[in-house]
């Protein structure tokens, strides 16, 4: 199936700053695709290029297999910055202005207000809306004309936990309705709970791309080595610790409630570790591989440094 968006070798320079460095990835149809990276990593620059707000120095991109065009851009719902709504006008009247600017979607206003759960507040002034409601109205504006593709830059930026939960559920529902959603974010929890696919960018360089599950399981291709975490225990913890310290490939041994939590190279197999401990006279009572969080994987790939 043709990717909704195909990015090929994009480069963007701002003087000596290499904002994007040979970035390539594909966005599958029907996905929620997260572009994840620290602040200043190049996420917004990338979205600006594919929406033709910015020009790349080199490389190209295709929407549904064809070069970007004005006609295509009109079929994409986009939220790249804080929307400029009139505070003294109602939500409905603001959407009428948005529809007039887009030259489409005025008949969709009641429907999109229902989708973002604002229909009951359509006559309320924008100034009376909470931050979450304001962001939902902005998303409603992107839905005018019923686009199949939505592009959001930091859709939960500045929201409180309740507002973040509102937008998260809305994005999931829009995806269930068949829309492909591309969203840039630096919030790991948001990406892990909402996205099906992810591309991680750091200092303009693509570090990895794949499904979220591939990233969490370690099967996604990355530029850094993965590690795994194993919970391990035995009746004699002193003997177990001595054995673990002899085992090649273990990078970290930490005490846990029942035994030890170890971090080791991903290629180490649990049965190999079990056999080694047995040969050292230690019979294991626990040997569990822990599922890593997206935060752990992200830090493995990018390190602990901000890009700013």
Could you read off the pLDDT of 198-225 as tens digits, one per residue?
Answer: 999 988 999 889 888 877 766 554 444 5
Q: Could you tell me which of 120, 53, 199, 104 has the C-alpha nearest to residue 136?
A: 120
For residue 28, give every residue at least 6 positions away whose Cβ sits within 8 Å of its Cβ, in sequence order, or none. 1, 3, 4, 180, 197
Residue 81 lies in a domain: yes
pLDDT, position 282: 92
73 shares its domain with 204: yes
Contact 236, 73 (CB under 8 A): no
134 shares its domain with 242: no
Residue 11 lies in a domain: yes
pLDDT, position 165: 86
74 shares its domain with 186: yes
Of the listed ranges 86-90, 118-122, 190-194, 201-205, the one predicted with least confidence: 190-194
20 shares its domain with 146: yes
- Binned at pLDDT 50, 70 and 90, residue 293 comes out as low
13 shares its domain with 152: yes
66 shares its domain with 154: yes
∠ CA 246-243-274, rounded to 5°: 105
pLDDT, position 224: 47
Residue 306 lies in a domain: no
- Residue % of the chain over a pLDDT of 90: 52
For residue 37, give every residue at least 6 positions away whose Cβ sits within 8 Å of its Cβ, in sequence order, or none. 43, 184, 186, 200, 201, 202, 302, 307
∠ CA 261-284-249, rounded to 5°: 50
Three-state DSSP state, 307: coil
Place of tokens 């750091």: 202
Domain stop point among 162, 197, 217: 217
CATH number of the domain that residue 111 is part of:
3.40.50.300
243 shares its domain with 203: no
Average pLDDT over all residues of the chain: 87
The conformation of residue 190, written as its DSSP 8-state character, comes to: H
246 shares its domain with 115: no
Of the listed ranges 30-34, 159-163, 250-254, the one predicted with least confidence: 159-163
pLDDT, position 5: 95
- Binned at pLDDT 50, 70 and 90, residue 292 comes out as low
Residue 252 lies in a domain: yes
The residue segments making up the domain with residue 273 are: 227-299
Domain stop point among 157, 185, 217: 217
pLDDT over threshold 90, residue 32: yes
Three-state DSSP state, 202: strand
Residue 307 lies in a domain: no
65 exposed, middle or buried (CB, 10 Å; 0-12, 13-18, 19+)? Answer: exposed
pLDDT over threshold 90, residue 20: yes
Q: Could you tell me which of 186, 153, 188, 174 has the C-alpha nearest to residue 49?
A: 153
211 shares its domain with 63: yes
pTM above 0.85, yes or no: no
Stronger pLDDT, 257 or 20, i.e. the higher one: 20
- Conformational region of residue 154, where left means phi above 0, alpha means psi within -120 to 50, and beta covers everything else: left
Residue 222 lies in a domain: no
**Which tokens is 305 given?**
């440094």
Domain stop point among 184, 217, 250: 217
∠ CA 21-10-39, rounded to 5°: 55
289 shares its domain with 232: yes
58 shares its domain with 174: yes
Torsion of CA 165, 96, 101, 126, to 10 degrees: -50
pLDDT, position 270: 84
- Residue % of the chain over a pLDDT of 70: 90
Three-state DSSP state, 152: strand
Instruction: Give mean pLDDT, residues 250-263.
Output: 87
pLDDT, position 217: 65
Residue 119 lies in a domain: yes
Instruction: Determine the distance from the C-alpha atom of residue 67 to the mean position of all C-alpha atoms in its chain, rounded to a whole number.
Output: 25
pLDDT, position 302: 66
Q: How many domains does the chain have?
A: 2
């Amino acid at each position: 199936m043709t990717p909704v968006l195909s990015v090929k070798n994009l480069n963007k320079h701002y003087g000596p700053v290499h904002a994007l460095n040979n970035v390539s990835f594909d966005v599958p149809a029907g996905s929620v695709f997260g572009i994840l990276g620290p602040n200043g990593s190049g996420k917004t620059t990338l979205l600006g290029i594919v929406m033709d707000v910015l020009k790349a120095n080199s490389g190209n991109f295709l929407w549904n297999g064809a070069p970007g065009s004005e006609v295509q851009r009109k079929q994409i719902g986009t939220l790249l910055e804080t929307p400029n709504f009139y505070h003294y006008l109602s939500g409905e009247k603001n959407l009428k202005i948005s529809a007039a600017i887009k030259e489409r979607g005025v008949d969709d206003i009641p429907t999109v207000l229902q989708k973002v759960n604002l229909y009951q507040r359509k006559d309320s002034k924008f100034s009376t809306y909470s931050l979450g409601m304001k962001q939902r109205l902005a998303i409603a504006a992107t839905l005018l004309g019923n686009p199949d593709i939505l592009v959001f830059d930091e859709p939960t930026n500045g929201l409180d936990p309740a507002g973040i939960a509102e937008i998260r559920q809305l994005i999931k529902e829009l995806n269930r309705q068949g829309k492909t959603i591309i969203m840039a974010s630096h919030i790991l929890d948001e990406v892990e709970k909402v996205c099906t696919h992810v591309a991680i960018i750091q200092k303009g360089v693509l570090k990895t791309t794949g499904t979220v599950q591939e990233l969490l399981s370690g099967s996604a291709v990355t530029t850094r080595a993965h590690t795994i975490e194993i919970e391990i225990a035995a009746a004699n913890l002193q003997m177990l610790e001595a054995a673990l310290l002899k085992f090649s490939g273990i990078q970290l041994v930490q005490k846990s409630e029942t035994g030890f939590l170890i971090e080791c190279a991903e290629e180490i197999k649990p049965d190999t570790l079990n056999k080694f401990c047995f040969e050292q006279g230690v019979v294991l009572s626990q040997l569990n591989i822990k599922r890593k969080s997206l935060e752990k994987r992200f830090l493995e790939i990018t390190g602990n440094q901000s890009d700013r």
